C-alpha cells in the first residue's frame, strides 16, 4: 500500500506543477480535467502524508524504547507509541476506504424481481417469503416500496413479483441479493414430513433514472390487454394492462397493477429501462477482467448465493462461506448481519484491484464518503 500511496502523491504533485504552467492554464479543457483530478486526489494525498509521518514517528519511538535508559523518556515514548499506533490504524482504515472505487449506482433507487424457481408450489411460497423479508428490511430502512407487477401462485406466494424500492442507498445495500436463493424445509403440503429443496431467483437492478437509455420508438412493441387476478371490477374489465417488448434484445415487461393504462405503461417502461441499463452494466463488468467477474456481486442471475435451512434454523451465504443460526430474525428482515459482511468482502476485493492499478487509472474513481 505504501508504494501505491507514493505513486498517488507523485501524481498529485505532478498535477499541481502542471496546473501552475501558464500554457496549461490557458487551455481551459485541459486545465479543467487536471483540476478535477487534483480535487479527487487531494484528500488521499494528504492522508498519505499524515500516514507516512505517523510511521516515521512510530519508528523513532521504538528506537528510543530500544536504546534509552532514561525512565522518564521511556515512559513518554511508550505513551506516544500507544497514541501513534491508534492513529496508524485509523489512518489505514480511512486510506483503504478512499482507495476503494466508488460504485456510482449505490445511491440509486432499485427494482427488485423475485421469481419462483424449481420446487413447484413450495417455490412460489418461498418467493412470497422473500418478498415479505425484503419488504420488512425496506421498512426498517424507511425506504418506499411500490409494487409494479405480480403473478400470484395458486397455493400462495408468487410465481413472479416485481417492485421498486426508493430511498438513499437502496441499490447499494440490496445489490448483494441478486442470484438464486435456496430453501430447505418441510412444505405445508408434505404429509410425510420430508424435507424438500426449492429455489427462487432474485434480480436487483439499479433504476435508470438520470441515465440516458436510448429506446427508439421503432424498437418497442406495446400491447394492451385485459388485467387478470386481483384488483377489483374496474381493473378486470378494461384493457388497462400493458406489455412492452424490446425488439432488439427480446426483453418483455408486463404491468397490470394500476387501473390506468398510462400508469401501467410508465411502470413497465421504468422496468424496461432498468433491465437495459443492468444489461449494459453486466457487459461492462464482463469486459473488464476475469477478476472483476469473480467479485462478490457478480451479477450472475443463475448463481446459487444463499441457503435457508429451516430444520436447523440456519442461513448460509455461499459467496463468503458465512453461516448464521439466526434464520427467524433474517426472515423478519434483519438482513444487515449478512449485507455488512458481503459489503466488507466486496470492498476487500475492490481494494485489491485498486492497489494493482496505476494511480492515474484509479484516481477518478475514488470514493468520497
My answer on whether 298 and 190 are in the same domain is yes
pLDDT above 70 covers a percentage of the chain that reads: 85
Q: Tally the domains of the chain.
A: 2
CB 351 within 8 A of CB 366: no
| pLDDT tens digits along 51-95 | 999 999 999 999 999 988 889 999 999 999 999 999 999 998 888
CB 24 within 8 A of CB 18: yes
| Most confidently modeled range among 220-224, 254-258, 298-302 | 220-224
Section 270-286 average pLDDT: 79
My answer on whether 8 and 120 are in the same domain is no
My answer on whether 76 and 212 are in the same domain is no
Residue 278 pLDDT exceeds 90: no
Question: For residue 259, is it within any domain?
Answer: yes
Length of the chain: 369
My answer on whether 296 and 209 are in the same domain is yes
Question: For residue 10, is it within any domain?
Answer: yes
- Cell numbers found for residue 202: 432474485
Question: For residue 343, is it within any domain?
Answer: no
CB 19 within 8 A of CB 25: yes
Question: For residue 122, is it within any domain?
Answer: yes
Report the distance separating Cα 340 and Cα 338, nearest Å. 6
Report the distance separating Cα 18 and Cα 23, nearest Å. 9
Alpha helix stretches (DSSP H) within the chain: 2-19, 22-25, 28-67, 71-99, 121-140, 170-174, 233-236, 261-288, 290-293, 327-331, 336-356, 359-362
My answer on whether 232 and 119 are in the same domain is yes
My answer on whether 124 and 205 are in the same domain is yes
My answer on whether 95 and 7 are in the same domain is yes
CATH number, domain with residue 85:
1.20.58
Question: For residue 119, is it within any domain?
Answer: yes
Residue 365: pLDDT band with limits 50, 70, 90: very low
Question: For residue 346, is it within any domain?
Answer: no
Section 240-262 average pLDDT: 86
Question: For residue 350, is it within any domain?
Answer: no
Residue 53 belongs to domain spanning = 2-99+356-365
C-alpha atoms less than 13 angstroms from C-alpha of 279 in its C-beta half-sphere: 12
299 Cβ contact partners less than 8 Å away, ≥ 6 residues apart: 178, 278, 281, 282, 285
- SS3 for 128-168 is HHHHHHHHHHHHHCCCEEEEEEEEECCCCCEEEEEEEEECC
| pLDDT tens digits along 333-360 | 999 999 999 988 888 777 776 666 665 5
Residue 174 pLDDT exceeds 90: yes
The alpha carbon torsion through 129, 134, 140, 142 (nearest 10 deg) reads -140
My answer on whether 8 and 118 are in the same domain is no
Residue 284: pLDDT band with limits 50, 70, 90: low
| pLDDT tens digits along 20-42 | 999 999 999 899 989 988 988 89
Report the distance separating Cα 63 and Cα 74, nearest Å. 10
CA distances from 134 to 70, 273, 317, 334 (A): 63, 22, 16, 9
- Cell numbers found for residue 316: 448460509
What is the model's pTM? Answer: 0.65
CATH number, domain with residue 138:
3.30.70.1660
Residue 293 pLDDT exceeds 80: no
My answer on whether 237 and 128 are in the same domain is yes
My answer on whether 270 and 133 are in the same domain is yes
Instruction: Work out the end-to-end distance of the chain between its first and last CA atoms, rounded to an integer number of angstroms.
Output: 20
Question: For residue 168, is it within any domain?
Answer: yes
The pLDDT mean for the chain works out to 84
My answer on whether 59 and 135 are in the same domain is no
My answer on whether 178 and 246 are in the same domain is yes
| pLDDT tens digits along 49-60 | 999 999 999 999
pLDDT above 90 covers a percentage of the chain that reads: 49
Amino acid at each position: 500500500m505504501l508504494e501505491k500511496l507514493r505513486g498517488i502523491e507523485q501524481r498529485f504533485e505532478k498535477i499541481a506543477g502542471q496546473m501552475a504552467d501558464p500554457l496549461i492554464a490557458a487551455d481551459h479543457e485541459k486545465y479543467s480535467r487536471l483540476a478535477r483530478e487534483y480535487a479527487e486526489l487531494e484528500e488521499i494525498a494528504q492522508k498519505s502524508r499524515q500516514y507516512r509521518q505517523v510511521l516515521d514517528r512510530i519508528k523513532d519511538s521504538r528506537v528510543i524504547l530500544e536504546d534509552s535508559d532514561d525512565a522518564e523518556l521511556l515512559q513518554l515514548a511508550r505513551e506516544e507509541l500507544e497514541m501513534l499506533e491508534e492513529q496508524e490504524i485509523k489512518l489505514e482504515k480511512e486510506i483503504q476506504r478512499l482507495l476503494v472505487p466508488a460504485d456510482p449506482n449505490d445511491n440509486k433507487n432499485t427494482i427488485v424481481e423475485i421469481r419462483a424457481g424449481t420446487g413447484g408450489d413450495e417455490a412460489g411460497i418461498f418467493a412470497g417469503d422473500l418478498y415479505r423479508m425484503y419488504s420488512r428490511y425496506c421498512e426498517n430502512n424507511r425506504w418506499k416500496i411500490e409494487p409494479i407487477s405480480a403473478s400470484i401462485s395458486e397455493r400462495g406466494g408468487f410465481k413472479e413479483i416485481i417492485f421498486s424500492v426508493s430511498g438513499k442507498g437502496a441499490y447499494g445495500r440490496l445489490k448483494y441479493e441478486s442470484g438464486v436463493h435456496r430453501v430447505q424445509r418441510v412444505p405445508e403440503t408434505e404429509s410425510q414430513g420430508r424435507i424438500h429443496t426449492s429455489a427462487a431467483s432474485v434480480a436487483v437492478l439499479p433504476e435508470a433514472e438520470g441515465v440516458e437509455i436510448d429506446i427508439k420508438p421503432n424498437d418497442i412493441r406495446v400491447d394492451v390487454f385485459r388485467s387478470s387476478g386481483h384488483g377489483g371490477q374496474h381493473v378486470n374489465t378494461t384493457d388497462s394492462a400493458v406489455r412492452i417488448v424490446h425488439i432488439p434484445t427480446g426483453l418483455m415487461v408486463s404491468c397490470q397493477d394500476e387501473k390506468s393504462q398510462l400508469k401501467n405503461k410508465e411502470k413497465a417502461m421504468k422496468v424496461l429501462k432498468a433491465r437495459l441499463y443492468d444489461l449494459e452494466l453486466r457487459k461492462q463488468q464482463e469486459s473488464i477482467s476475469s477478476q472483476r467477474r469473480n467479485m462478490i456481486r457478480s451479477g450472475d442471475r443463475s448463481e446459487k448465493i444463499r441457503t435457508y435451512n429451516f430444520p436447523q434454523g440456519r442461513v448460509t451465504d455461499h459467496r463468503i462461506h458465512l453461516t448464521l443460526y439466526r434464520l427467524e430474525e433474517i426472515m423478519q428482515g434483519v438482513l444487515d448481519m449478512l449485507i455488512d459482511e458481503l459489503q466488507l468482502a466486496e470492498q476487500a476485493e475492490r481494494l485489491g484491484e485498486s492497489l494493482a492499478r496505476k494511480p492515474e487509472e484509479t484516481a477518478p474513481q475514488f470514493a468520497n464518503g
